Amino acid sequence: MMYWDNKVKGYTYPPCRGFTPKLAEFYESYAHDKNFQIIFIIFDNDEDSFNEYYQEMPSLALAFHDREKKQELGKKVNVSSIPTLILLDEDSGDIICTDARNRVVSDDTGENFPWYSS
């Protein structure tokens, strides 16, 4: 999964502030049993804010300085708003679910995971 989010100088965009804790809880509860990993992609203006916000998410993250890779990935999977959570096939890298953010909320037990877009 790739998760795009933003925090700028201590201010977190309200939808991100509401969703990130839910995603962190989902990750901690099911990542091992469901065999998945999240790559947290944070767009921050300064490294201190990046580091502070990354502490809230117990997953992998692209490095603060890897801005080109963040932009490239965002364009590849057509991220148009944040927060965005997209599921990718581990082997092919193909997108399998573009609305995973909604699925974390509607299937918070992970019963139907992995999710697939209709």
Per domain, the residue ranges of the chain are 2-106
What distance in Å separates the CA atoms of residue 50 and residue 5, rounded to the nearest whole number? Answer: 10
Backbone angles phi, psi at 26, to 5 degrees: -60, -45
Coil, helix or strand for 7? strand
What is the reported pTM? 0.84
Q: Please tell us whether the domain made up of 2-106 is placed in CATH 1.10.287.110.
A: no
pLDDT tens readout for residues 29-65: 999 999 999 998 887 778 888 888 888 889 999 899 9
pLDDT tens readout for residues 91-107: 898 999 999 999 999 99
